[in-house]
Amino acid sequence: MTSFLPYGRQSIDDSDIEAVVAALKSDYLTTGPLVDQFEKALAQAVGAKEAIVVANGTAALHLAVLTEELSPKCVVIVPAVTFAASANCIAYCGAQVLFADVDPHTGLITDETFDDALATLDRDYHGYRFAGVVPVHYAGRPVDLSHLHEVCTERGAFVLEDACHAIGGTGPQGPVGSCQASTMAAYSFHPVKTLTTGEGGAITTNDSVLARRLRLLRSHGIERDPAHFVGLRYDGEGDEGPWVYEQQCLGFNYRLPDINCALGLSQLKRLPQFAAKRARLVAEYQTALAATNLPVRWTPAAEGTDPVFHLFAVNIDFAAVGRTRAQVMAGLRERGVGTQVHYIPVHRQPYWQTHALAQRDLPGADQFYQSTLSLPLYADMADDDPLRVIQVLQEVLTS
């Protein structure tokens, strides 16, 4: 019997299981030595000086934005094609979101769509300050950050890479998350991502002061290192002792337990294997698609980039085949192929229709959404599964 292919899933082997079992048998289940080990290994893997692991990708985005101390008159530009968390993290911190359009074929923010959003802000919203931008490396495709970084540097704004899809990839500025042209990068380690910790996330940065701030914020704002104490205002023993800690700011419980970090460390060792397998599967998809005359488009990786694709998201002209996307997805599912849509443009969501600045048409985002479909892509697929998927897709589109 042919197995069902979901659009994505985790890859867990015996080494991962052994690592988690060892953590369960250790003295630590929550915060222990594996947190520090995972952070060091992750920073080294992506080429950043610091990595701060947290409970999930949303927590990573939230804490990263929180360090910028935004006000209600601060505006952050976010591409419309992304998961809601990329915009929600701005609202959590009391600032304003201005959505930018995207390339209708890749879903990525471009220099032109960024400039258009910024021009709208400058023209129509006097008294507001441009505070930053959250470029999203959608599906694992790295955004070229050169222009965004230049503009943000000139205007005293931040660049926060949403790298939740993109671990292991390389863009024009080097490894994604190395922060060569950004303030910080945020990751997600959800099971459908390339690398998983179950739930989990991380922030990378090259700023050690910022990293210390992030570590405070992820754990209630509590400092336990006496070298950084400011004083409890007791006399004598009340200020000193191994039990003493200080809450120095308002923080959250966004910690990632040792158990999850054990899985993350094991998975990180497999990252080159994951990257190579995903590249091979994408190449097989390209070959299979090239042998058809289907109205299905997939944009190859941009020159100067080496992505690790999280999604294999194609553009399909559903009108040309006389079928709705729902009909196509149902037909694929009946034949053992799972698919998903990533994403409904965030500016179309009811909440953001009333809360985002500059309500306006974003035709690139709408065109991308109306045509996109994510086909199966994960490390445990067989090498011939992409051919099977395309053959099934051809059957559904032409029958």
Q: Which of 25, 40, 49, 193 is catalytic?
A: 193
d(CA 99, CA 80): 5
- Strand bridging mode 158-162 / 184-188: parallel
What's the Cα-to-Cα distance from 254 to each of 31, 51, 80, 198, 209, rounded to whole Å? 11, 14, 26, 15, 19
Rounded to whole angstroms, the Cα distance separating 196 from 204 reads 17
State the DSSP string of 30-61: SSSHHHHHHHHHHHHHHT-SEEEEESSHHHHH
Compute the distance between CA of residue 62 and CA of residue 355 in angstroms, rounded to an integer.
18
Q: What is residue 225's DSSP assignment?
A: -
Backbone φ and ψ for 23, nearest 5 degrees, come out as -65, -40
Residues 6+ apart with CB under 8 A from 26: 32, 258
A 10 A CB-CB count for 260 gives 24
According to DSSP, residue 143 is labeled: P
Verify whether residue 49 is a known catalytic residue: no
Choose among 370, 59, 44, 344: nearest CA to 197.
Answer: 59
330's CB contacts (< 8 A; 6+ apart) are: none
Q: Is 30 exposed, middle or buried (0-12, 13-18, 19+ CB in 10 A)?
A: exposed
Catalytic residues: 193
